[in-house]
Amino acid sequence: MLRFIRKRSIASLISLVGLMVMVFFLSRLTGDPASLFLPVEASEEMKQQFRQLHGLNDPILVQFMHYVGDVLTGNLGESLRKARPALGVVTEAFTWTLQLALITMTLVTTSAIVVGSLAAFRVGGIFDRFSSVVSLIGASVPDFWLAIVGIVLFSVYLGWFPTSGTGSLLHWIMPIAVLFVRPFGIIVQVVRGSMISALSSAYVKTARAKGVKSGPIIFIHALRNAMLPVITVIGDQAASLLNGAVVVETIFGFPGVGKLMIDSILQRDFNVVLAAILVTALAIFLMNLLIDLAYALLDPRIRH
């Protein structure tokens, strides 16, 4: 198991390094921060002083080497916009995103497993057909479109929910609902397909012949053996949720890392952009490692 963890960690580290190299050089193509942060009437001398102060006058490779050295010491630089350590700014925003993702994925996983399992128990029945249609529509609807329609319908016309912010429980309902739809639709389909295969197995037929009730057959005997592909999809959707939150948070004005990243790109706050991507990538890699470990524990063949 330790060898398995080491291999996965090394692969994740290589991907993380490649990502940071790419983002560092691409972020420098967005423009000169001095032109954005200084007044329009600022002289060229003032701009040069600004660049010198923040190390932007050095050649790009020298800037990159300085950045690598700072990252290795735990220093991710200072936010140009907020004059605070970039890591602190990102951590504060990431806390909001993590809460949003955890609540959404808990609701998605629980409801999708129940719905998919019940649909597989009566294939072709009314519930199966209805859940299949709903899940397929949910898996196909773009998040940004659903968010805009939700704001127009439930905030502008009906006035049920606020359009942005985090002041109360009502502020959380629409972002969670929008992020809920796509992963719910995908996981329901995977659970249904996996459960249909599990319910047709010999051990399930034996349990039915012995008079075991439907509940234990679905949620104890069949579900445990159908969870391998489901775990993988749940991990993928959780990672996609962190990425998809960028658009949804921006639309709803939610103060998470996604909105922070968009604002920082537009304002050329390079250190915050890099810190946000680093923290998000580390969270995704850690989550994927945990999913791999769970998969390996369920199926010992994967460890080899």
Q: Which residues contact 74 (CB under 8 A, 6 or more apart)?
A: 87
Judge whether residue 297 has pLDDT over 60.
Answer: yes
Confidence of residue 223 (pLDDT cuts 50, 70, 90): low
Burial of 43 (0-12, 13-18, 19+ CB in 10 A): exposed
In contact, 66 and 55? CB cutoff 8 Å: yes
**pLDDT > 70: what percent of the chain?**
77
What is the distance between the alpha carbons of residues 304 and 291, in angstroms, rounded to a whole number?
Answer: 16
What is the distance between the alpha carbons of residues 226 and 204, in angstroms, rounded to a whole number?
Answer: 12
Total domains in the chain come to 1
**Which pLDDT score is estimated for 122?**
79
In contact, 262 and 97? CB cutoff 8 Å: no
Residue 52 lies in a domain: no
Q: Which residues contact 154 (CB under 8 A, 6 or more apart)?
A: 160, 161, 174
Among 22-31, 157-166, 199-208, whose mean pLDDT is lowest?
Answer: 199-208
pLDDT single digits (tens) 83-102 = 778 888 888 888 888 888 88
| Token pair 């439907």: residue | 214
Judge whether residue 272 has pLDDT over 80.
Answer: yes
Cα 37 to Cα 6, 28, 43, 268, 270: the distances in Å are 44, 15, 13, 9, 12
Residue 80 lies in a domain: no
**Which pLDDT score is estimated for 62?**
76
Residue 16 lies in a domain: no
**Which pLDDT score is estimated for 302?**
56
Give the count of beta carbons closer than 10 Å to the beta carbon of residue 145: 10
Top-confidence residue, 200 or 214: 200
- Structural domain range at position 100: 86-303
pLDDT single digits (tens) 165-181 = 777 888 888 888 888 98
Judge whether residue 303 has pLDDT over 60.
Answer: no
Among 21-35, 117-131, 249-263, whose mean pLDDT is lowest?
Answer: 21-35
Q: Which residues contact 289 (CB under 8 A, 6 or more apart)?
A: 5, 8, 9, 12
| Token pair 């249909």: residue | 196
CA count, 13 A, side-chain hemisphere, 248: 28
**Which pLDDT score is estimated for 107?**
92
Top-confidence residue, 135 or 266: 135
What is the distance between the alpha carbons of residues 230 and 192, in angstroms, rounded to a whole number?
Answer: 10
**Which pLDDT score is estimated for 304?**
52
DSSP letters for 123-184? TTSHHHHHHHHHHHHHHHS-HHHHHHHHIIIIIIIS--S-SS--SSHHHHHHHHHHHHHHHH
Residue 9 lies in a domain: no
**Which pLDDT score is estimated for 32?**
65
Among 15-19, 61-65, 129-133, 241-245, whose mean pLDDT is lowest?
Answer: 241-245
Judge whether residue 158 has pLDDT over 60.
Answer: yes
Confidence of residue 244 (pLDDT cuts 50, 70, 90): low
What is the distance between the alpha carbons of residues 99 and 107, in angstroms, rounded to a whole number?
Answer: 12
Residue 34 lies in a domain: no
What 3-state DSSP class applies to 85?
A: strand
Confidence of residue 270 (pLDDT cuts 50, 70, 90): confident
Residue 155 lies in a domain: yes
Q: Which residues contact 125 (CB under 8 A, 6 or more apart)?
A: none
Rg (alpha carbons) of the chain, rounded to whole number: 24
Top-confidence residue, 242 or 157: 157
Here the CATH number for the domain that contains residue 254 is: 1.10.3720.10
Residue 35 lies in a domain: no
Residue 262 lies in a domain: yes
Q: Give the residue from 99, 253, 104, 256 showing the smallest Cα distance to 177.
A: 104
Among 112-126, 184-198, 280-294, whose mean pLDDT is lowest?
Answer: 280-294
| Mean of all residue pLDDT scores within the chain | 77
